Structure 1
Amino acid sequence: MRDKQLALVTGASTGIGLELAKCAAEAGFDLVIAADEVAIESAAAELRRLGGSVQAVQADLATTEGVDKLCAAAGSRPIDALLANAGVGLGKAFVDQDFQRIRRVVDTNITGTLYLIHRVGNEMLRRNSGRILITGSIAGFTPGSFQAVYNASKAFLDSFSFALREELRDSGVTVTCLMPGATETEFFRRADMMDTKVGTEKKDDARDVAKAGFSAMMSGESDVVTGMKNKLQTTIANVTPNEVLAKQHRKMAEPGTAKS
């Protein structure tokens, strides 16, 4: 008899990633969870109360070494579900940002994520079985003035998800893209955006976002945009000139736009 299925969840110390891990645990998966901070250990303790095995890995997923460390933690067990959620944001004007922080957004959101999916996806394809959930964002639909690199990184992931899904269409591996809007997590504080309108306004609940994403993954759906407001926003974005979208985003993300 085969062991319980195994899910690997990145960015699982807080926010959407932690909630995705909870969804997987509640569905009966054993877990390998990862983040680049020590809080991943307390997240693991919380998840173990839901039953099943939980292994925590503190690793820098912006690096190939960090991804290799995470994959090694799974050992010889096949990964049945990969929930590639790790990501970082960065606010303020592009030319004012520290380039090392810009580089970290690209390395975490794009390079590390691609390397992880490439490694795990190859193993899934050999077995002709597996589920991949990629956390993109509705931010990928909009040129992100004062969040330029972050939004561009999510546009990359949104596009990549659909392309990979088509390439794997005739296999037993499914690819789903979770595209949330602004969500109540540590994201905006860590991105230095608490002086912006989007950073301080009411946001979606991380648990609701994760449940929608996990359900879509388990059903093999191509994508899910969470929340009616976000669905409407993406529909409008598809027919709005990029110049207009960039101006609108400025009103949300420019420093000093926070409600007083």
Structure 2
Amino acid sequence: MIAADEAQIHVAAQELSRIGRKVTPVEVDLRTEDGVASLYEKATADGRHLDAAAINAGIGRAGRFVDGDLREDLAIVDLNVRSTVHLARLVLGDMADRGSGRVLFTSSTVAAMPGSYQSMYNASKSFVQSFAEALHDEMRDTGVTVTALMPGPVDTEFFTRAKMRNTPIGGLLPKDDPAAVARQGYEAMLRGDRKVVAASLMSKALGAANTVLPDAVKARMNRLIARPMNR
């Protein structure tokens, strides 16, 4: 089962069905509690149990925090944080009761970077990263594994939806193949890893640099890549 808040999810389901798998698309707004509940109800209809779940939905924007639309910033919190917590509680509750299951959270390499000119997105991913790693430890020895996927920039529609094509990271910098990122995340989930940085050497180097660079330096780095180029 795959879910998104746009009709394109039905096209994606048709494409995935060509590899011989039954794919059920669910068009739902995960920014709302009703949307999360609806997705979970559909996923577990007829007594089905979830063996694995990828909690991946996320949005962002670039620009100074004080210049942004508060409604957009709160929508980032609703989708990236609130829906992640809500869905995780539903999914992990069932898995814990059964003593088996795997969950993959999509975090980011920017989870470890103060997000100058991208403050809401980076902060939300910092939450997801800490949340996922805490759950990994809590679920130890239960038969349930929790993995955090930390990609760098990925070649998806994210930067268009976030109106970030006029930023260096959105319009100029190279981006990773989403299939490679998904594959590395999936394999890490199957192994039960705590986290994985994916997928290119550049992204892995950024992940390594984040462990040693001072926060002030990382904030300036984020400003350089996320600040709109017309400013």
Q: For this structure pair, what is the TM-score category when the shorter chain's length is used for normalisation?
A: over 0.9
Q: In the alignment, what sits opposite 2:55?
A: 84
Tell me which of 185, 188, 192 is aligned to 2:156. 185
Tell me which of 60, 64, 69 is aligned to 2:33. 64
Tell me which of 224, 231, 235 is aligned to 2:196. 224
**What secondary structure sits across from 1:54 in the alignment?**
coil
Q: Say what the alpha-carbon RMSD is for the aligned residues.
A: 1.2
CA distance in 1, matches of 2:191, 2:214: 34
Q: In the alignment, what sits opposite 1:125?
A: 96
CA distance in 1, matches of 2:101, 2:127: 22
1:157 equivalent in alignment to 2:128: yes
The code of the aligned residue for 1:141 comes to A
1:109 equivalent in alignment to 2:87: no
Report if the CA contact (8 A) 1:197-1:257 is conserved: no
CA distance in 2, matches of 1:35, 1:61: 8
Tell me which of 140, 164, 180 is aligned to 1:208. 180
**Which 5+ residue runs of structure 2 have no aligned equivalent?**
none
CA distance in 2, matches of 1:241, 1:33: 39
CA distance in 2, matches of 1:211, 1:38: 25
**Which 5+ residue runs of structure 1 have no aligned equivalent?**
1-31
The code of the aligned residue for 1:213 comes to G
Corresponding residue pairs, total: 227
Q: In the alignment, what sits opposite 1:252?
A: 225
1:239 equivalent in alignment to 2:201: no
The CA deviation at 1:231 is 2.1
CA distance in 2, matches of 1:145, 1:188: 17
CA distance in 1, matches of 2:212, 2:184: 26
The code of the aligned residue for 2:207 comes to T
Report if the CA contact (8 A) 1:92-1:193 is conserved: no
Identity %, equivalent residues? 44
**What secondary structure sits across from 1:89 in the alignment?**
coil
The CA deviation at 1:234 is 2.1
CA distance in 1, matches of 2:110, 2:145: 23
**TM-score (norm. length: structure 1):** 0.85
Runs of 4+ in 1 over 3 A off after TM superposition: none
**What secondary structure sits across from 2:145 in the alignment?**
strand
**What secondary structure sits across from 1:125 in the alignment?**
helix
Report if the CA contact (8 A) 1:147-1:253 is conserved: yes
**TM-score (norm. length: structure 2):** 0.95
CA distance in 1, matches of 2:25, 2:203: 32
The CA deviation at 1:257 is 6.7
Report if the CA contact (8 A) 1:180-1:225 is conserved: yes
